Amino acid sequence: MATFSIENFGCRATEADASEIRLQLAERGLVLLEDHARAEVVVLNTCTVTAAADSQAREAIRKIHRANPAARIIVTGCYAQRAPEELAALEGVEWVVGNSHRSAISRLACNLPSPLRESAADFVPLAELCDAPGSLARGPAKILTADIFAQTAVDFAAPDVATRASLDDRTRPILKIQDGCNNRCSYCVIPFVRGRSRSVAPDAVIKEVHRLAAAGAKEVVLSGINLGSYGRDLAPRATLAGIVRRMLDETSIDQIRFSSIEPQDVTEDFVSLAARSDRIAPHFHIPLQSGSDRILRAMRRWYRAEHYAERVLLIYRMLPHAAIGADVIAGFPGESPADFRATYEFIERLPFTYLHVFSFSARPGTAAEHLADAVRGAEIRERARALRLLARKKAEEFRSFQGGRSLRALTLNRRGNDWTEALTGNYLKLRIAGLHPANEWHQVRVTGDPETAIG
């Protein structure tokens, strides 16, 4: 039986893509292994959001090839879409497959011909093909991707939107209901590598949530590249709030959690929907990027710091115990010490409970690539470090604010000698006493200790 392994990088949307790839390969009869060193096919699903993400992917490819020179390496994801030649030049890589052609991976993994013309008629049982002599023969790496810089010609069509979440980690399957983005933030390469916004049809979403709930999932994490824009491309038009209401009314899923939502989509209606239902995790992740209006303008973000603050305070008023997180970029070109101070003080005064801090790195093809007035590397690192320290302080404050509360938590896969990790609706990771299977609800009391709770 042919074997494969998969390594994923990046955000929740790429995790959902990796789940879909995993399912497709398993459906073709390939057996999933954890260990890249033993797998015949290794798929790397890459991220390209920063230069660091690119270099992590390259390093992983080199490492896998060193440990397993016979492995057929297929590289896909956002980096593969952005710069396929760079990846094809790396030793050991057999295929570079852009997001635009992700659905072809399972055929390529099995050396099937005509990867783009898949139909029931030409389906061949894969165990035979993958075990066929010569299937490991390798020439130079091949590239299968659309040209991202000819955007209008790129078709990231519906099959590319993963609709099936994996139950491998049944505790919190990620359900990607939207892909792509119509915005053009000046620093961001994502619209180039994922195309325009498109959504999974509401009935397909509901069907998938039914399947996940029936299979035992307690929580689904709704994800997308621009989740708040869900449904705007559909006819009839749908909305994120609408699909969430249907999930609450029509399915038995215990808990729904949202990945990142842009600030303009965090409306009063939306927050009150979350406030009224104990089946919606009180957890909001809202990209901020900067607390300086001057920098927000240069980033081509469409809100100003005070608009953003209003949305955060709205959540805090309606759901004072909610987790509120943000992405922040340190060292965008032209970010002066005063701009940075504005960001720092803005974050300091708002009730954030955690932050994801990114050091700015210019992404090829973006408007910010050629901006003058770059911030020095050492200064970027220093600003990022200060923001991470602030984030830690905020997380500790939130933790102690939650001390003594009794919360429902879902057990995860991680455990020690006498504890099991669990996650609350408001995104606190706790260690509960005893060894428990994953995917169980426990009522826990939060302690002041950052690592523990009493089960």
Alpha carbon distance 272, 266 (integer Å): 10
CB of 182 to ligand SF4, least distance (A): 8
CB of 79 to ligand SF4, least distance (A): 15
CB of 226 to ligand SF4, least distance (A): 5
What is the CB-side half-sphere exposure of residue 398 using CA atoms within 13 A?
25
C-beta closer to ligand SF4: residue 185 or 200: 185
C-beta closer to ligand SF4: residue 7 or 262: 262
- Tokens standing for residue 433: 């006493």
- Which run of H or E residues covers position 415? strand 406-415
What distances in angstroms separate CA 140 from CA 58, 89, 228, 257, one per listed residue? Answer: 17, 9, 41, 43
Q: Which residues contact 381 (CB under 8 A, 6 or more apart)?
A: 359
C-beta closer to ligand SF4: residue 23 or 362: 362
Alpha carbon distance 3, 161 (integer Å): 25
Alpha helices in 132-239 (DSSP H): 190-194, 202-214
CB-count burial class (<10 Å; 0-12, 13-18, 19+) for 23: middle
C-beta closer to ligand SF4: residue 95 or 270: 270
In the complex, the residues that contact ligand SF4 under the rule CB under 6 A are 181, 183-185, 188, 190-191, 225-226, 262
Tokens 């006493």 — which residue? 433
Q: Which residues contact 107 (CB under 8 A, 6 or more apart)?
A: 114, 115, 118
CB of 301 to ligand SF4, least distance (A): 7
C-beta closer to ligand SF4: residue 184 or 349: 184
Three-class secondary structure assignment of 314-326: HHHHHCCCCEEEE
415 — phi, psi (to 5°)? -150, 160
CB 276 within 8 A of CB 249: no
C-beta closer to ligand SF4: residue 92 or 263: 263
C-beta closer to ligand SF4: residue 185 or 238: 185
C-beta closer to ligand SF4: residue 111 or 289: 289
CB of 286 to ligand SF4, least distance (A): 11
Helices (H) and strands (E) in the chain, counts: 14, 19
